[in-house]
Chain A
Amino acid sequence: MLILSFESSCDETAVAVVEDGRRVLADEIFSQVALHEIYGGVVPEIAARSHLEVISLLADRALEKAGVTRRDIDAVACTYAPGLIGAVLVGVNFAKSAALALGVPLIPVHHVRGHIAANYLAYPELEPPFVCLAISGGNTMLVDVRGYTDMSILGQTRDDAAGECFDKSARVLGLGYPGGKPIDDLSKRGDDRAYDLPRPTVNGGSPYDMSFSGLKTAVVNLAHHAEQTGEPLDKPGLAASLCRAVSEMLVGRTMDAAARLGYENIAVAGGVAANSRIRADFEAACQKAGKTLFVPPLRLCGDNAAMIGAQGYYEYLAGHTAGSDLNAYATMEL
């Protein structure tokens, strides 16, 4: 089954062609990073404008790369939530019109479910159940993936996403936007014990819930204090200490959850999964605990449409399709 899939929830416009949820025939991405860089973050209106400008062209290119025609497409999938509403709307409205005109089913896909499914593309042998930590600029959640479309949130951030913590920290350190990669690069030259950063815990709710705003504020305060007093700031040390703190908050909870559920497999997904400290810590922890770790390659960690096509296949098998009245949503339960 060939699925044409669309992703436009933030600052990446993406169109892919995926076969049977596992084989990527085309994976076209137009990144808007350069458009948003000068603003130090994603500007929703600029993101939405840009999606509309490139989406037809990307769809053409996806078919061309896949070596298929419109008639070969069996279904259309799209991210319908969560995301920047103006941005998601472009993908949803293009996708549902295309599905209607092609006379094929329309499959709405939750963006975070898509990130989790990126693992199916990278690892043909991976099947549920497993625990997945989905970490990006907009989401941080620990998910019990019981089945391809049967999942529940074990815990999540109460405030900022892990990626947001990196972005804001990068901004005060003068590293530009997006912050994940420059922080990661800088941390490799630093001592991860240079600064004693907090690992905030949260009261009530799930033991797997997290909070990153206190950690972010601690970094911001350190940077401002250094600026005001003229004391030197060990930027590489701060970046390394930050990566260590974030990683410890994430890895510990994920390992605990896997142990409690008795799952063999642990997966990581989303843009922050590209962080090398988090990857290394997960590898070490999984080796120690005798668990198998799945982390998609960098290209599949960031936003892309192939992951939407992968999850779309399983949503279709579960009968999750929509009509021409499908709407886009800024927030949505997993």
Chain B
Amino acid sequence: MLTLALESSAKAASAAVFEDERMLAFAIQNAGLTHSRTLLPMAEGLMRQLDRPLSALDRVAVSRGPGSFTGLRIGLAEAKGLCWALDIPAVGVSTLEAMAWGGPVLDGQMLCCCMDARRDQVYNALFTVEGGKPVRLTPDRAISVPELENELVARQEPWILLGDGAELCYNAMDRSLVTLFTAPEPLRVQNARGVGLAAMGKDAVPAGELLPVYLRLSQAERERLARMEKESIT
């Protein structure tokens, strides 16, 4: 089964091609260029170098969030466009799960995946590793750093921090209460390899039905709800 994996939820964009569980090719762009210019050419280039037509693809795996709203939509729109034209299904993968799969998956490790969500929050999920695979301990959520710190402390384990929020958490948390490590740079942030690996055990769905998981309302919706709440109190 030939899978194209796409990742564009944060600063870097990457693409990978998998034959079943084996990664055949991988490309990444981390120069701050817009994903709209770089992601599809990477996918196109990988397939050309592999001497495989796009029509050989069986499915497309893609980060469905959380992450940069615009970044997610670029990846998802490309996945949907490819799947629509090729009439193949797609697999949506949690960005945080992809991050865990791309991290240091040594048995027994505790992985804390966190992306800087601004507004004093991180997008986060916790994983442990069993049999070389991440096992989910929490759902994906937007959580404040102190709240997350309490959870990590309560579990009484040393944690490896991943993601572009790793440093933020490392610096903000009280390391006399919880043992923290930041993952080494090459293993720290999500990429298309992690997306492809995380997609392995998952069922594909019709790509048209694939929806991003933003974990956050738009600013206009948030402000409107806050206004309504305020009005209902007064």
Interface residues of A (CB under 8 A from B): 38-39, 43, 45-46, 48-49, 52-53, 55-57, 59-60, 70, 85-86, 89-103, 323-328
Contacts and interface: CB of A to CB of B under 8 A. Distances in A.
Contact of B221 (A46, A59, A326, A327): A46
A100 B84 contact: no
Given A39-B224, A43-B218, A101-B55, A93 B84 contact: no
Contacts of A325: 37-38, 40-41
A149 B221 CA distance: 41
Interface string B73-87: 110111111111111
Contact of B84 (A45, A94, A328): A94
B80 A89 contact: no
A261 B171 CA distance: 68
B137 interface: no
Contacts of B212: 49, 52
Contacts of A59: 84
B69 A102 contact: no
10 contacts: A56-B80, A57-B208, A89-B74, A93-B36, A93-B78, A94-B80, A94-B84, A97-B79, A323-B41, A324-B44
Contacts of A70: 85, 87
A92 B69 contact: no
A98 B77 CA distance: 10
B207 interface: yes
A90 B34 CA distance: 14
Contacts of A89: 36, 70, 73-74, 77
Contacts of A86: 69-70, 73
A325 to B, nearest CB: 5
A38 B73 contact: no
A101 B82 contact: yes
A100 B36 contact: no
Contacts of B55: 101
B215 to A, nearest CB: 13
A45 B219 contact: yes
Contacts of A326: 36-37
B41 A92 contact: no
B41 A56 contact: no
Q: Is the interface of B mostly helix, strand, loop or mixed?
A: helix
B77 A93 contact: yes
A70 to B, nearest CB: 6
Pick the 8 closest A-B CB pairs, nearest first. Answer: A97-B81, A56-B208, A101-B85, A93-B77, A45-B218, A94-B81, A43-B220, A98-B81
Nearest to A48: B73
A97 B40 contact: yes
A77 to B, nearest CB: 13
B54 A101 contact: yes
A93 B87 contact: no
Contact of A56 (B78, B207, B224): B207
B36 A102 contact: no
Interface string B203-222: 00001100110100011110
A93 B81 contact: yes
A183 B12 CA distance: 47
A95 B41 contact: no
Given A70-B87, A89-B36, A100 B54 contact: yes
Interface string B22-61: 0000000000001011101100100000000011000000
Contacts of B77: 52, 55, 89-94, 97
Nearest to B77: A93
Contacts of A103: 54
B212 to A, nearest CB: 7
